[in-house]
A and B are shown apart, each in its own frame.
Chain A
């Protein structure tokens, strides 16, 4: 538990204004304060906030504002990993739902009884970005023209051309558009589509600080997100035997350091510690060197 100490001066909340409206004249003709006036608060801390004339300050709803002493504090949340969990595939025992509830969001709902795994799929998502041109060489032809790489549209350079398409989709003077990892039966909607621009360059530095220049390449992938390829329903089971285990325990041994003689009185000091013959055996862990 955190412990915070603060000192607050009540004077900051004490009313010191004396409105003219609370002044009156006594029988001697002297100006005095009418302490029974409801607007007289001098020397007190009122329950509700007031202005200098003793009128209540109202909020936007016309309500009096509670007079408060405000203290800011910072709450923190300290937590540690609760151990190691493992996923256990399971089959839901309840009836499977057929219609997703309106506005169903698995992150808000959490696990919904009877919901099939497809309830947790997210809508198809398109991811775009930029990268280097290192994959371009995967789709080049084996032949060269004038010692330059040749890119032939629809030439599949995959190792498994029956299932996977790696190849150029479009080639022109400005760019080369190609796909990596597409399904041969659905090339437009699968795989990662790259476009390497021939006249645009990007620069970065490697781990040694050396500049690297490459042709600017954009990428686009469809149908990303949670889907049947990366989502399954599992029960999370805690492996309690690993709670708090980070590494195997180590036994610390007392390290022996022979410092030698550091002081001319040290021998005498050591001898002064020895009162009995048993002390010779036990003094300094049994090691005595005088």
Chain B
């Protein structure tokens, strides 16, 4: 018998197949439109780091999110949600074990599970997964039963068996059988709490839709603010090379790699009659003059 309670936080080594990623975009914080989420393919954008000492081994914890510039190349706010993969299915039955009739559980049909997730329903593989419930009558407002979840504590392939009850009835219960396509899952809590012995915890109803989610890592939300300027670009204006063409008044600011970062036209506005200077203007030039290459200018 195993006794004792413990808990810890460990670097997650979750497989990318068990992850879902969504993102939303808003150009500014003042946007009043509702949040619209778009999916990202985790196998394309989430790359786990390998252990440098054992390259075939996942490092654990460290993942690189590779955000395509075609999607994330706009100034604004991107919210990225990384959460465990969800599996949607229907409860096939709710019953008890034939030999332990106080052990209640919910039953799933493996054949109803998408093919890529069926191996998760083999004996013991669902332990620790979270079950969330959908309302039995959809379209009545919020489909999901909020603030309610159960944790799967065991799952085994099981076969329904019947026991004669009374004159003409028979009760159905389940017995473990590895050749069955039904999976009997015990969930926690499924028994009444000590403080309220008459309460029967809800673990689901037959034909009720549920969402089954792994708990291999804690969900993460990233808010990424894409900006055009930071300390480095401001430093270009202060410390990087600059040229001012006296012939055509083009003022060029270079980045630290001597590439053209910004160009401006410098000119004066004069009174058309008296010729008196009125303004000195620095106006950004959007058509870049390539002849102001710093290396070409200073190569004399």
Interface residues of A (CB under 8 A from B): 1-11, 13, 16-18, 23, 30-33, 42-43, 45-47, 66-87, 93-94, 110-111, 113-114, 235-238, 240-241, 243-246
Contacts and interface: CB of A to CB of B under 8 A. Distances in A.
Interface of B: 1-12, 14, 45, 61-70, 72-73, 75, 82, 100, 103, 122-125, 127-128, 151, 153-154, 157, 175-179, 186, 188-191, 194, 215-230, 232-233, 255, 257, 259-261, 287-291, 293
Contacts of A81: 4-7
B191 A75 contact: no
A75 B259 contact: no
B118 to A, nearest CB: 15
Contacts of B216: 77
A42 B261 CA distance: 10
B228 A9 contact: yes
Contacts of B290: 18, 23, 31-33
Contacts of B73: 10, 13, 45, 69
B170 to A, nearest CB: 20
B188 A238 contact: yes
Given A69-B67, A72-B62, 14 more contacts: A2-B221, A4-B221, A5-B222, A6-B224, A17-B259, A69-B73, A73-B63, A75-B14, A77-B215, A78-B218, A81-B6, A82-B128, A85-B1, A93-B176
Contact of B61 (A31, A76, A241): A76
10 contacts: A1-B220, A6-B225, A10-B226, A11-B229, A31-B290, A73-B220, A76-B9, A78-B7, A81-B7, A83-B188
Contact of B69 (A13, A240, A246): A13
Contacts of B221: 1-4
A21 to B, nearest CB: 11
A94 B12 CA distance: 37
Contact of B66 (A68, A84, A111): A68
A79 B227 CA distance: 37
The 5 closest A-B pairs by CB, nearest first: A113-B178, A80-B7, A16-B259, A68-B66, A75-B12
Given A16-B255, A86-B1, A75 B220 contact: yes
Contact of A113 (B65, B179, B261): B179
A223 B122 CA distance: 33
Contact of A68 (B61, B69, B82): B69
B217 A11 contact: no
A1 B61 CA distance: 15
A71 B75 contact: no
A86 B4 CA distance: 12
